[in-house]
Chains A and B, each alone.
Chain A
Amino acid sequence: MEKMEIRFCGEVIEFIFGSSKRIVFGDESQPGLEIGRDKKSQKIVAFMCLDFPYLYNRILQGLKVKPISRRFSVESVDEGDTVSPICDPRVKNATLAEIVQWVWEKYYAHLAQETAMEVAA
């Protein structure tokens, strides 16, 4: 199980679980996600999504077809101006799909609801 930090900036989100001085994010056919590798060792140390609200479903569908078997423990969330420690058992020893689902529900789902309410009004 690897410790993970989640970093947000608006719709861009990074899932970082390895240390690296030089992360290179490439498209490795994992839907919705860029794969971050340490440039020197080529180890996978992060994932990134460029537009999480738009690509969230695509990520989950992609993880069903092409699962990532590693498990992670989310330790903190960095929202730019604040870094919050995370103690939620839902994201301890969790799959990436479970973490993606948790991020959506905790940080983004209300936006979809607000948009739906605006459309309904």
Chain B
Amino acid sequence: MENWQPLNREQALAARDFSRAGETFIDHKGQINEILYSILTPLGYHAYVSSQRLQYIEKHPIASKHKNDTPYILNNPDLVTPNYENPDTHIFYKVFNGTQLLATPVHVINEFRYIATMYEIPHIKGLKQGLISHNMFLYLRGGFKWKKWK
């Protein structure tokens, strides 16, 4: 098993794994996605990034500015939680500039995990409503003040 290490932005870009680039997978809508790269996450699995998902992210003004941060967000998130509405989906959170919280949901098909989208979110999903509690966190970066985003 590969050893995960938290990387900075430049290191995460350099650590992208292109070994399956060009291969395809079919998502939950039956659409074909072409793999660009994957990156090792702190949860021990690789998350795959497809060209279709990056094109979709590019349509969102905020997220598109952070398109190149995708490997960094996946490798070195501040927090990962399950989506309480569909716990197989993991939501990777990362704060930028201390003021902007980005959410990157990662879906799964047969243990193959891929990013779904990326968007700005005001709070950690479900925390305020008590639908997620801190003991359900899948990963918490040391020093991250998650209560600020409740």
Contacts and interface: CB of A to CB of B under 8 A. Distances in A.
Interface of A: 7-12, 21-27, 29, 31-32, 34, 39, 48, 50-55, 58, 78, 80, 107-108, 111, 114
Contact of A50 (B29, B55, B117): B117
Given A22-B61, A51-B107, A10 B120 contact: no
Interface string B17-44: 0000000000111110100000000000
A78 B86 CA distance: 25
B53 interface: yes
B55 A80 contact: yes
Counting contact residues on chain B (CB < 8 A from A), the size range is 20 to 34
B29 A58 contact: no
* A interface secondary structure, majority: mixed
A107 B29 contact: yes
Contact of A10 (B52, B61, B123, B129): B52
A32 B85 contact: yes
Interface in B70-87: 83, 85-86
B88 to A, nearest CB: 9
Contacts of B61: 21-22
Contacts of B126: 27
A83 B85 CA distance: 29
